[in-house]
Amino acid sequence: MKSQKKDRLREMQLAFVGKLMAGFSHDFKNHLAIIKELSGLIEDLFLLEEPGDSANSERYKKILSGINERISQAAEMCRVLSLFSHHMDQPLSSLNVTHILQEHIYLVHRFARQKQVELASSFEDDLPAIFNDPSLLQFAIFCILWPALETLGPGGRILITTSGKGESVEIAIQFEGAKEKTADETGWEDLLPEVLKMLGADFTRSLLLEGNEEVVITISSIENS
């Protein structure tokens, strides 16, 4: 039974990575397609340009600006993907909770945008460094955020904040807005207690005004066993 639970956890963790990478690669391909389209357009304009004619110079500048913007976005996506991937290289390491959350928000932002749900954050400065599992922490956050993104309707809001609690870090996630539907039975939330246990983290869930919710994770350093 214990082996089955671990296998299920591993299966769902891989599904978590797959979902994020699918959304990520979709956006990345869009950036590259637009870069290709803009490059083709500017090439066509150069072919039509008469020697010494500068009537289209401003248009060229706008197109080149668009190309450079897409290149910058693609480079940022590669940077975040690289950081996300390296978290899996070493299960236990000294981690910056703010950086972990910023990466996670970046990766799930596309899904929030699709649902017209605002994904906001406010992180306290000078949080203590935590020795823990960065990939597993991101997975725990995903197990909380994904069901909310499935259920919240347009105009909903998810606010992620952090604060220092001695040598620990408190991550608070508030869900605001009407629920469009109930979460499907994917089992993300069912895995959360086991994941939090592996992280050595405490967890609370409470109801706020107007039916809103807040969950709080308090994470500390764990021993390297």
Q: Using CA atoms, how far apart are residues 169 and 216, in angstroms rounded to an integer?
A: 10
Where a domain ends, among 86, 106, 128?
Answer: 86
Q: Which of 143, 150, 155 is nearest to 181 (CA)?
A: 150
| Shared domain check, 151 and 72 | no
Residue 224 lies in a domain: no
pTM metric for this prediction: 0.76
| Shared domain check, 205 and 149 | yes
H/E stretch holding 17: helix 2-48
Where a domain ends, among 86, 104, 120?
Answer: 86
Least confident of 28-32, 51-55, 89-93, 134-138: 51-55
In angstroms, the first-to-last Cα distance of the chain is 24
**pLDDT higher than 70, residue 54:** no
Residue 183 lies in a domain: yes
**Tokens 């150069």, residue?**
46
Neighbours of 118 (CB within 10 A): 15
What per-residue confidence (pLDDT) applies to 225? 47
Where a domain ends, among 58, 86, 114?
Answer: 86
| Shared domain check, 109 and 81 | no
- Domain containing 99 equals 93-219
What per-residue confidence (pLDDT) applies to 218? 97
What per-residue confidence (pLDDT) applies to 223? 75
